[in-house]
Structure 1
Amino acid sequence: MNKSDKIYVAGHRGMVGSAIVRRLQAEGFNNLVLRTSAELDLTQQQAVADFFAAEKPDYVFMAAAKVGGIVANNTYRAQFIYENLMIQNNVIHQSYLHGVKKLLFLGSSCIYPKLAPQPLKEEYLLTGLLEPTNEPYAIAKIAGIKMCDAYRAQYGCRFISAMPTNLYGPNDNYHPQNSHVLPALLRKIHTAKTEGLPEVEIWGTGTPRRELMHVDDLADACLFLMKNYDEEGFVNVGTGEDITISELAQLICRIAGYEGHLRYNTAQPDGTPRKLMDVSKLHSLGWRHSISLTDGIRSVYQAQEWMQLA
């Protein structure tokens, strides 16, 4: 990649896309093409075709997606599969038609079977049934991986895929119902502390394990892969370390200074029991994460973005 290359970051206002933009700019890549969803609806085929014809980007970071937590995934099942399929189909196909030099497609660790062996190796894809609550989203992301591979096989496109673990960081979603576990816990625990509440409700049993990665680490990995990886198949991007939901809640309590009781609502779903990434492939390429979970959560908590979103 040259500093003068035109780079399109799809989804630049989301948590992942904005982190990629920050990382690119820090490296001196300033010829960025950015469009909000209001300016360019990626589900509309003609609009995407017109955009690529006019802008002709050299590189594409595919960070646009419809995303959410367990409740959102399970409630808006049709929207999650339709919108994600349309977004990625349009961007990937137009990248091929307009000669994009390289595209990075981003998915999610939820593509793996619910009961896959741990840690999750790339070769476990499609070896078992998916977690039912996010199956539509997972199927869309699996289709994106296979689409990149198919365009590489048939047309020689340099399209690659990366599957991040659970993410957190600036520009996260702090919606009370539709957020992921870490921002949901941050907001709940902070609210309990400021309002003097005696307890916080935690969904599920607290026993599922989750791997959590700061989004700035993901952005660094994305730039690394765009520069250094060019093969069929995808690469797991994670820390290779996990923590139980209970341990995570306790860690947030310590960072926030909350001393109340944690009550586990076992009537609510746990989701997948464990989703630890095997990151040996990424490590063998020469990249490792650098932001510890404690440092990352502390920086997010101190920023208190949810105060502006309340």
Structure 2
Amino acid sequence: MNRNTGAAVYVAGHNGMVGSAIVRRLTSLGYVNIVTASHSELDLVDQRAVRAFFEGNHIDQAYLAAAKVGGIEANDSSPADFIYDNLLIEANIIKSAHDFGVPRLLFLGSSCIYPKFAHQPMAEDALLTGTLEATNEPYAIAKIAGIKLCESFNRQYGRDYRSVMPTNLYGPGDNYHASFSHVIPGLLRRFHDAREGGEDKVVIWGSGSPRREFLHVDDMAAASVHIMELDREVYQASTTPMLSHVNVGTGSDCSINDLASAVAKVTRFTGRLTFDNSKPDGAPRKLMDVTRIQALGWKPTIDLEDGLEDAYAWFVSHQADFRGR
């Protein structure tokens, strides 16, 4: 392992769910020089601003956790925003990191890079073997571009830029917007509001049959730092120049129906669960093959029940932040 707690480590997106978890993890491990910049200080879509930031800061490692994210409804209603903003963020940071000599970078992608009907569990070599899920295709294409940017700078310039592909993430710092959140925060808020409002049922998008894998964000942060700290030779031995990314997940999944029941238990909602079949299900199943990351010495430590309790406790303590949204 290559741990240098005195290194200057830039975390792009440090105020987001994943970025803030990475900062927590780095801090707990004794890193003392964590570099951050809020959106008001640095607009990552602005190429000149990003280049000036890298020129003015000596960065040893960069975690690219910044992204425009959202659930099915957000992706479906704003496809241009999702592909444009994410392409620019990735291109600006990765190119500036190269130009200003950042030795090591970790790009965080998404499981949506894999084809809608990929063989389950989805191994890294499923990338670009089929059609993407239509509802989040623009976002997925941007994430694929990020992987290929890292691969291309490695191949052409000998850089050590790595990529991790997390499964569905949840936990403290998540987005609990009433319309534009992912499945777990969306369900937690919906069940909480229903209980608080005395409602007798909660309506859930889709059939409830799709199966999804979920990873607590603190596990994701631990995996990200683990991959970043691996010696170059160890990491490269597990990948190829044309297949450089590593899946991060739990290796197990559950149906949306079962997830909704678990959320109802956590939020103490005792009413009925109904499903709206007119709404899209998305991919029928999304389970990661985690053979590679397990061989590299990492496994998750937070099970779904404990993770949901933690996520719900965070929401309850921050729900005023989401009032009216």
> What is the DSSP-based 3-state SS (H/G/I as helix, E as strand, rest coil) of the residue aligned with 1:213?
strand
> What are the Cα deviations for residues 116-161 of structure 1, in whole angstroms up to 9, with x where unaligned?
1100000000000000110000000001101100100000000000
CA distance in 2, matches of 1:278, 1:230: 17
CA distance in 2, matches of 1:248, 1:40: 38
Determine the structure 1 residue equivalent to 2:144: 142
- For 1:306, give the aligned amino acid: Q
Q: Residue 21 of structure 2 is aligned with which of 16, 19, 34?
A: 19
The CA deviation at 1:230 is 3.3
> What is the DSSP-based 3-state SS (H/G/I as helix, E as strand, rest coil) of the residue aligned with 1:230?
helix
Q: Residue 271 of structure 1 is aligned with which of 278, 282, 300?
A: 282
2:304 matches 1:299: no
In structure 1, runs of 5+ residues without a counterpart are: none
> What are the Cα deviations for residues 84-128 of structure 1, in whole angstroms up to 9, with x where unaligned?
000000100011111111000000000000011100000000000
Q: Residue 204 of structure 1 is aligned with which of 206, 213, 222?
A: 206
CA distance in 2, matches of 1:252, 1:150: 42
The CA deviation at 1:13 is 0.2
> What are the Cα deviations for residues 180-229 of structure 1, in whole angstroms up to 9, with x where unaligned?
00000000001111111010010000000110000000000001000116
Superposed, 1:216-231 pairs within 5 Å as 216-228=218-230, 230-231=235-236
CA distance in 2, matches of 1:302, 1:66: 25
Q: Residue 281 of structure 1 is aligned with which of 279, 283, 292?
A: 292
CA distance in 2, matches of 1:238, 1:116: 16
CA distance in 1, matches of 2:48, 2:262: 48
Q: Is the Cα–Cα contact under 8 Å of residues 158 and 230 in structure 1 kept in the other structure?
A: no
Q: Residue 235 of structure 1 is aligned with which of 222, 242, 246?
A: 246
Superposed, 1:31-46 pairs within 5 Å as 31-46=33-48
CA distance in 2, matches of 1:198, 1:4: 54
TM-score normalised per structure 2: 0.94
The CA deviation at 1:307 is 4.0
Q: Is the Cα–Cα contact under 8 Å of residues 60 and 102 in structure 1 kept in the other structure?
A: yes
> What are the Cα deviations for residues 60-79 of structure 1, in whole angstroms up to 9, with x where unaligned?
00000000000111111111
Q: Is the Cα–Cα contact under 8 Å of residues 172 and 310 in structure 2 kept in the other structure?
A: no
Determine the structure 2 residue equivalent to 1:163: 165
> What is the DSSP-based 3-state SS (H/G/I as helix, E as strand, rest coil) of the residue aligned with 1:236?
strand
2:72 matches 1:67: no
**Runs (4+) of structure 1 moved beyond 4 Å?**
none
Moved more, 26-35 or 298-307: 298-307
2:137 matches 1:124: no
CA distance in 2, matches of 1:6, 1:274: 39
2:154 matches 1:152: yes
CA distance in 1, matches of 2:321, 2:142: 32
CA distance in 2, matches of 1:87, 1:306: 29
CA distance in 2, matches of 1:16, 1:243: 22
Q: Is the Cα–Cα contact under 8 Å of residues 12 and 62 in structure 2 kept in the other structure?
A: yes
In structure 2, runs of 5+ residues without a counterpart are: none
The CA deviation at 1:274 is 0.7
The CA deviation at 1:4 is 1.2
TM-score normalised per structure 1: 0.98
The CA deviation at 1:300 is 1.5
CA distance in 2, matches of 1:302, 1:175: 16
2:98 matches 1:96: yes
CA distance in 2, matches of 1:250, 1:206: 11
CA distance in 1, matches of 2:264, 2:83: 36
2:183 matches 1:181: yes
Q: CA RMSD in A?
A: 0.9
> What are the Cα deviations for residues 13-36 of structure 1, in whole angstroms up to 9, with x where unaligned?
000000000000001102011001
Aligned residues with identical type, % of pairs: 52
